[in-house]
Amino acid sequence: MKEQITSIQAEVERFPIGNESELEQFRIQFVGRKGRLAALFDLLKDVPAEQRREVGQALNGLKNLAEAKFEEAQSQFAGAGAKVEIPHDLTLLDPISQGSLHPLTLVRARILEIFNRMGFSVSDGPEIETDFYNFTALNFPANHPAREMQDTFFIEKGAGEIQDDVLLRTHTSNVQIRLMQHQKPPIRSVMPGRVYRNEAISARAHCLFHQVEGLYVDKQVSFKDLKDTLYHFAKEMFGKDTKVRFRPSYFPFTEPSAEMDITCLLCKGDGCNVCKQAGWVEIAGAGMVDPNVLENVGIDSTKYNGFAFGMGIERITMLKYQIKDLRLFTENDVRFLKQFS
Ligand code: DAH
């Protein structure tokens, strides 16, 4: 009996298990209930009593050895059959997110594209500006209440000493002036950029936002040209069923002045919270360039005239994507940003 145990042990150790059928062979011979080890256990009762303990221990040792070898091989084959994950599969797509354009960047690009197709170039100007370009040249009289329409950030000269003629621009209209100083009519340009106002930050207002300014100066420009241009823009931007209306308004740098509304995209004109039940939302200020502005930059206002407009990129983006809180644009929350592409 002892000899049998020793020779079976040698067989168990040598038995090659390289595939599932060899595993099954091993199981039948050494692990199964009808296998050779089970047969030896049956013979244990015939072993003389004084040897039984020793033989029993040896037999149990062999049983444990065979079971351990079987389980180890079994776990290897089970792994292969169940297609476990391959840690470095180079054929898989890169799981790292690629990022996407900011919604304001997307909308700015779309606005510029629409005006480019109508023949408008793109111009740029400084965000730190002098009073002259931001106000005076645009026909804002000194101490006129119109300056208070725009809560201005002034730049500090020294410690605590405000320099009241250098400021963060409150609108992109400053670029109109710089452009007209450097270029003779005809001028047809759009001017995107960042603007600043001293406003408390809320869902509807921010101290930092973006505008696109437009300027068209030539001979015999009409109010109809202005309306056609902005109508076309609104339909391209928001869809051809969008309704548009002009309301009379006031800006120091245009005369006459108007504001353009479109039908509220959220309620389709029925009235909702976003449009304050009006059914319409304002998307741009506009008007015919005031002759004083042309004269301020040395353009003969008896020969040339023009139109101008200004629109907020945030406002247009909010309408287009139905975003209700302005603060989302500057919070860098990836859950918000990744929705745009
Ligand atoms: N600058 C105005 C604002 O910030 C927007 C504006 C209105 C621009 C009328 C214009 C214009 O060029 O003609 O509210």
Task: Point out the ligand 1 atom lying closest to the alpha carbon of residue 307.
Answer: 13
Q: How many CB atoms lie within 10 A of CB 159?
A: 5
pLDDT in the model for residue 162:
67
What is the band of 283 on the pLDDT scale with cuts at 50, 70, 90?
Answer: very high
Report strand pairing: 254-263 vs 280-289.
antiparallel
Lookup: tokens for 290:
């005031």
**Among candidates 237, 266, 283, which has minimal Cα distance to 109?**
237
Asked whether 307 lines ligand 1 (CB < 6 A), one says: no
Asked if 217 and 289 count as a contact pair (C-beta separation under 8 A), the reply is yes
Q: Is 275 helix (H, G, I), strand (E, B) or coil?
A: coil
DSSP E strands in 132-231: the ranges are 154-158, 161-168, 187-196, 208-218
Dihedral pair phi/psi, residue 116, rounded to 5°: -60, -40
Indicate the helix (H) or strand (E) that contains 29: none
Among residues of the chain, what percentage have pLDDT more than 90? 66
Asked if 215 and 294 count as a contact pair (C-beta separation under 8 A), the reply is no
The residues near 263 (Cβ < 8 Å, ≥ 6 apart) are 242, 243, 269, 279, 280
Q: Is the pLDDT of residue 284 over 80?
A: yes
pLDDT in the model for residue 251:
96
pLDDT tens track for 38-78: 888 888 888 888 988 999 899 899 999 999 999 988 888 77
The chain-wide mean pLDDT, for the chain, equals 91
Distance 90 CA to ligand 1 centre (A): 54
Distance 212 CA to ligand 1 centre (A): 9
CA 20/CA 66 separation, integer angstroms: 16
Q: pTM higher than 0.95, yes or no?
A: no
Lookup: tokens for 259:
């504001």
Indicate the helix (H) or strand (E) that contains 277: none
Query: Which alpha helices (H) appear in 147-277, and where do they start and end?
Result: 173-182, 223-238
Q: Which residue has the tokens 């100007």?
A: 125
pLDDT tens track for 221-271: 999 999 999 999 999 999 998 999 999 999 999 999 999 999 988 788 888
pLDDT in the model for residue 187:
98
pLDDT in the model for residue 276:
84
The residues near 107 (Cβ < 8 Å, ≥ 6 apart) are 313, 316, 317, 320
CA 182/CA 70 separation, integer angstroms: 88
Asked whether 254 lines ligand 1 (CB < 6 A), one says: yes
Distance 30 CA to ligand 1 centre (A): 91
Mean pLDDT score, 21-25: 90
Pocket test for ligand 1, best of 212, 213, 257 (most atoms within 8 A of CB): 213
- Residue 286's beta-bridge partner residues? 258, 309
Amino acid 58 reads A
Distance 213 CA to ligand 1 centre (A): 7
* 256: preceding bond cis by omega (within 30 degrees): yes
Residue nearest to atom 12 of ligand 1 (CA): 309
**Among candidates 271, 249, 257, 191, which has minimal Cα distance to 226?**
257
Asked whether 286 lines ligand 1 (CB < 6 A), one says: yes
- Angle 5-10-13 (CA atoms, 0-180°, nearest 5)? 120
Asked if 288 and 254 count as a contact pair (C-beta separation under 8 A), the reply is yes
Query: Which alpha helices (H) appear in 44-153, and where do they start and end?
Result: 49-81, 103-117, 131-134
Asked whether 213 lines ligand 1 (CB < 6 A), one says: yes
